Amino acid sequence: MNVLAVGCHPDDLEIGCGGTLIKYVKAGHKVFMCHITNGDMGHKVIKPEELGPIRIKEAKKAAELIGAEHITLNVSDNADYLFSKETEEKLIEVIRYTKPDIIITHNDKDYSAQHEATCEAVKSLSFAATVPHIITRSEHISNVPPIFYMDTLAGTRFIPSEYVDITQEIELKLQALACHESQIKWMSDHDKINFLDFVKTCSKFRGLQCGVPYAEAFRQYAEWPRLRPYRLLP
């Protein structure tokens, strides 16, 4: 399968579905990790023009560690409208280029309005990617891909419909997350938050719900014509 994961910010995918993406890679599937923004506003000291390239580099390193192909749309966090017509066209092209059998993205209810906007864009533009008269570099795809929402931060307002056992992948998931040093170090030094432990604890909590040491939780976007009569998560 081709697996496309779309996050808003450079570290969102490692947090929400990193272990699952590792399992896909282990099983021989092709994984693409795409983030919409460059995360240039995600620091209180490092200036945006310096931070954006740093965070893209961190995301690329994390994707390589997981074994995924890295893609960025390189939109500024400070954009007046996150999904301009240009950005929408870029995301349609990403969907057509990757030809996904499944897309993983943010939940439709989230603490971040940008996360919610990403979710809505993925839903609408993955349908648009099937329309032949919308012209991009890559040809249109034939089928509207299934979508799964990944867990929210700390699991708030998220009721899972499926789980993935990531017990064997938890350490590599945390190593990939640790590649985002500009964020992890900042939260440790200035906010006194051990974010790696935070994420590991959330995975343990989801594991308790489904009877394994560590898990990631998902909810399917259960709308026609995206449903399939077989399991798509690993």
Predicted confidence (pLDDT) per residue in 178-216, tens digit = 999 999 988 888 778 999 999 999 999 999 999 999 999
pLDDT value of position 78: 85
pLDDT value of position 121: 98
- Residue ranges and CATH numbers for the domains of the chain are 2-220 (3.40.50.10320)
Residue 81: left (phi > 0), alpha (psi -120 to 50), or beta?
beta
The structure tokens 């329309």 sit at 131
pLDDT value of position 27: 98
Ranges in the chain, pLDDT < 70: none
Q: Could you write out the three-class secondary structure of 95-143?
A: HHHHCCCEEEECCCCCCCHHHHHHHHHHHHHHHHCCCCCCCCCCCCCCC
The secondary structure of 13-69 as a DSSP string is HHHHHHHHHHHHHHTT-EEEEEEEE--TT--SSS-HHHHHHHHHHHHHHHHHHHT-E
Q: Which amino acid is at 56?
A: I
Question: How far, in Å, CA of 37 to CA of 96, rounded?
Answer: 19
Phi, psi of 40 (to 5 degrees): -70, -10
Prior bond to 53 cis, omega within 30? Answer: no
Q: Does residue 141 contact residue 131 with C-beta atoms inside 8 Å?
A: no
Question: How far, in Å, CA of 201 to CA of 18, rounded?
Answer: 14
> For the CA atoms of the chain, what is the radius of gyration?
17
- Cα 30 to the chain's mean position, in Å? 15
Angle, in degrees to the nearest 10, between helices 85-98 and 113-128: 60
